[in-house]
C-alpha cells in the first residue's frame, strides 16, 4: 500500500476539515420533507459552473435522497443557450440561465416555460479589456471587436453598454464565441474586449488581471431564471417546488457558511478556491422564488430591446412562456 507524504496527508486533512460542516449539513437537510405522491422515473437537470445553488444541490444529493424512485441525472453546459437547446429538444427537464437565453429560445419557437427565478446579480458580469488597452470608456468600443456568447447574458450586457455609450449596434463588431474560445481569443489579442460572467470572469481575474471596463451595474439586472418544459411543470409541480426548497437551502448555506461553501463548490467544479471566493463576493443572497409581476415586466423589456435591435426574429410576449404552480395544490401547501 502506497504511503502518503506528510504534505499530501496535511492537504487531505485540511480539505476534510473544511468540508465537515458542509457534509453534516447536507446529511441533515434532506431528511424531513413530506413525501411526493407522483414523481418522474428520471429527473434530468442542466447546470453551469455559475449555478451555485444547483452545484451544491448536486453535491449533497438531497434530491437523490428524497426521490427514492427517481433517477436524478446531471448535465453540465458551458452556457445558457446550449442548455436551452437541450431543454427544447427534451434532453433535460430543468435548467437555469440568465435573461437572454429563454428570450432567444421563445423567439425561435421553443415550448419552454419560466418556472422561477433568483434575484438580480448586476455585479457578476463584466466587459473586460487588456490592462494596456486604448479602450478607456464605453464610447471607445466603437469599431472594436467584442467577444461574447451569442444569446447569453453577456450579449445583453454588450447591447446595453453600446446604448449607454450613445452608439449603434452596427458601430461594434460582435464576435460570437463560447466562453472558453472567447477567453483564448481575448488572451491572444484577436479581440479588443470580452463580455463574460462569473466564474469565468473570476478565473481570468486571478490569472491575467484584465481591466474592467464596465460591470453589469447600472446596465443589466442579471436575473437567473429556472426553466422547464410546460408539460413537465404541469405534470410535476411538486418536483418544481421541491427543487426550489432545496436550491434555497443551498443558498442559505452559501450565506452562513462561506468557507465551507467555497471548499464544496471548488471540489465540485474543479475551479480553485480564490476564483470561487471572488465570485461569491460579488453574488448576493439568491433564494429561488416563483415568478413575480416585476420579473415578467423586466424580462419583457429585455425581449423588446433585442427585437428593436433586430437581434431576435420576432417580437414575443414573455407571459406566454410563464408558468405558476396550481394555487390550490395541497401537496405544495403542505411543503410550504
> In angstroms, how far is the first alpha carbon of the chain from the final one?
52
Q: What are the distances in angstroms from CA 51 to CA 56, 243, 250, 272, 284?
A: 9, 13, 11, 16, 13
Task: For residue 217, give every residue at least 6 positions away whose Cβ sits within 8 Å of its Cβ, in sequence order, or none.
Answer: 122, 123
Q: What pLDDT digit, counting tens, does each position of 215-273 carry?
A: 999 999 999 999 999 999 999 999 999 999 999 999 999 999 999 999 999 999 999 99
Which CATH number fits the domain 7-121+222-335, given the four candidates 3.40.50.2300, 3.40.50.300, 1.10.3720.10, 3.40.190.10? 3.40.190.10
Q: What is the pTM of this model?
A: 0.88
Q: State the pLDDT confidence band at 326, using cuts at 50, 70 and 90.
A: confident
Contact between 197 and 154 (Cβ < 8 Å): yes
Q: Give which of 117, 118, 113, 116 is closest to 102, Cα–Cα.
A: 113
Residue 7 pLDDT: 46
CATH superfamily of 122-215: Periplasmic binding protein-like II (3.40.190.10)
Where in the chain do CATH 3.40.190.10 domains reside? 7-121+222-335, 122-215
Between CA 38 and CA 52 the distance in angstroms is 28
The secondary structure element, H or E, covering residue 286 is none
Q: What pLDDT digit, counting tens, does each position of 30-44 carry?
A: 444 556 768 999 999
Residue 332 pLDDT: 42
Contact between 188 and 157 (Cβ < 8 Å): no
Q: What pLDDT digit, counting tens, does each position of 43-102 carry?
A: 999 999 999 999 999 998 999 999 999 999 999 999 999 999 999 999 999 999 999 999
Q: What are the distances in angstroms from CA 121 to CA 92, 104, 264, 312?
A: 25, 20, 22, 24
Which grid coordinates belong to 285?
Answer: 443572497
Task: Average the pLDDT over 165-172 and give the result.
Answer: 98
Q: State the pLDDT confidence band at 11, using cuts at 50, 70 and 90.
A: very low
What percentage of residues in the chain have a pLDDT greater than 70?
A: 86
Residue 32 pLDDT: 47
Task: Average the pLDDT over 308-312 and give the result.
Answer: 98
Between CA 231 and CA 271 the distance in angstroms is 35
Count CB atoms within 10 A of the CB of residue 201. Answer: 28
Kind of pairing between the strands at 145-148 and 193-197: parallel
Amino acid at each position: 500500500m502506497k504511503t502518503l507524504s506528510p504534505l499530501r496527508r496535511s492537504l487531505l486533512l485540511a480539505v476534510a476539515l473544511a468540508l465537515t460542516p458542509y457534509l453534516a449539513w447536507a446529511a441533515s437537510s434532506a431528511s424531513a420533507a413530506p413525501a411526493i405522491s407522483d414523481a418522474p422515473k428520471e429527473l434530468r437537470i442542466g447546470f453551469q459552473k455559475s449555478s451555485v445553488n444547483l452545484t451544491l444541490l448536486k453535491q449533497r444529493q438531497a434530491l437523490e435522497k428524497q426521490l427514492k424512485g427517481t433517477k436524478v441525472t446531471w448535465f453540465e453546459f458551458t452556457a445558457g443557450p446550449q442548455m436551452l437547446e437541450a431543454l427544447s429538444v427534451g434532453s433535460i427537464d430543468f435548467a437555469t440561465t440568465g435573461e437572454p437565453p429563454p428570450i432567444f429560445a421563445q423567439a425561435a419557437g421553443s415550448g419552454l416555460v419560466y418556472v422561477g427565478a433568483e434575484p438580480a446579480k448586476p455585479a457578476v458580469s463584466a466587459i473586460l479589456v487588456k490592462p494596456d488597452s486604448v479602450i478607456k470608456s464605453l464610447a471607445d468600443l466603437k469599431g472594436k471587436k467584442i467577444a461574447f456568447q451569442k444569446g447569453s447574458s453577456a450579449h445583453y450586457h454588450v447591447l446595453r453598454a453600446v446604448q449607454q455609450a450613445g452608439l449603434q449596434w452596427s458601430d461594434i463588431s460582435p464576435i460570437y464565441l463560447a466562453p472558453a474560445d472567447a477567453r483564448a481569443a481575448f488572451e491572444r489579442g484577436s479581440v479588443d474586449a470580452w463580455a463574460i460572467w462569473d466564474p469565468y470572469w473570476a478565473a481570468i481575474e486571478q490569472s491575467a488581471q484584465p481591466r474592467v471596463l464596465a460591470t453589469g451595474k447600472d446596465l443589466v439586472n442579471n436575473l437567473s431564471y429556472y426553466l422547464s418544459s410546460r408539460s413537465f411543470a404541469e405534470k410535476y409541480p411538486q418536483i418544481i417546488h421541491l427543487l426550489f426548497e432545496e436550491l434555497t437551502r443551498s443558498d442559505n448555506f452559501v450565506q452562513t457558511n462561506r468557507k465551507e461553501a467555497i471548499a464544496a463548490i471548488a471540489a465540485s467544479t474543479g475551479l480553485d478556491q480564490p476564483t470561487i471566493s471572488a465570485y461569491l463576493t460579488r453574488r448576493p443572497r439568491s433564494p429561488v422564488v416563483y415568478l413575480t409581476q416585476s420579473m415578467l415586466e423586466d424580462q419583457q423589456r429585455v425581449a423588446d430591446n433585442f427585437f428593436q435591435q433586430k437581434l431576435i426574429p420576432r417580437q414575443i410576449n414573455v407571459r406566454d412562456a410563464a408558468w405558476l404552480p396550481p394555487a390550490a395544490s395541497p401537496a405544495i401547501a403542505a411543503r410550504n
